[in-house]
Amino acid sequence: MKLRPTKADLEAARDRTVPDVIGPGLDVVFVGINPGLYTAAIGHHFGRPGNRFWPALHRSGFTERQLDPAEDRSLLERGLGVTNLVARTTASAAELGREELAAGAAALRRKIRRHRPRAVAFLGLDAYRLAFGVRQAALGRQPEPLEGAAVWVLPNPSGLNASYQMPDFVRLFGELRRSTTSPASSAAARPRSRAPRCR
């Protein structure tokens, strides 16, 4: 039985970082805004119960089953990765300033140049607009690539984001999946034989 972090665990997680799940040549790198306290306390991405990232990933066809946050490193076997725009953990993304987001954007550019994924998917429209100065950006594929990678913006999957429901996530994640995987590749959702890659 998994034990949930205590209040003390959550407070102790403030300002921690969560290791990237990233490697060269991935199909998609998902970019969260920054880790929340629950995620940092357990050390795995999108860890809070109620976050819709893992269900959306499965229901849109990226994974053959719904993964547990503790399995986040197995995304590499599926051609997927996860990083954050800002590495620092906070209780709320509202604690991040414009300068911190801009610095995170510069750091992300360096990661994308190094690892060369096919696509980068930002999970949060407002954070993307602020970090990259694209005020008129809308959800979906963006007209300009990022260091050669196609750019998509998807809603923030936090359970606190009431503006979007699961069907919205499944539709938008599905559009991304169809744009980055071959129609003939029904194996896209299954683990690949290649070894996991570290940051």
Q: For the chain, where are the E strands, in sequence order?
A: 28-32, 80-84, 119-123, 140-141, 150-154
Beta bridge partners of 123: 154
Catalytic residue among 34, 51, 84, 156: 34
Region of residue 193 (phi > 0: left; psi between -120 and 50: alpha; otherwise: beta): alpha
Beta bridge partners of 56: none
Beta bridge partners of 154: 123
Is 44 a catalytic site residue?
A: no
Is 45 a catalytic site residue?
A: yes
Q: Which residues contact 60 (CB under 8 A, 6 or more apart)?
A: 169, 170, 171, 173, 174, 176, 177
Q: How far is CA 182 from CA 12, 172, 176, 192, in A?
A: 44, 17, 12, 15
Catalytic residue among 45, 51, 84, 156: 45
| Residues taking part in catalysis | 34, 45
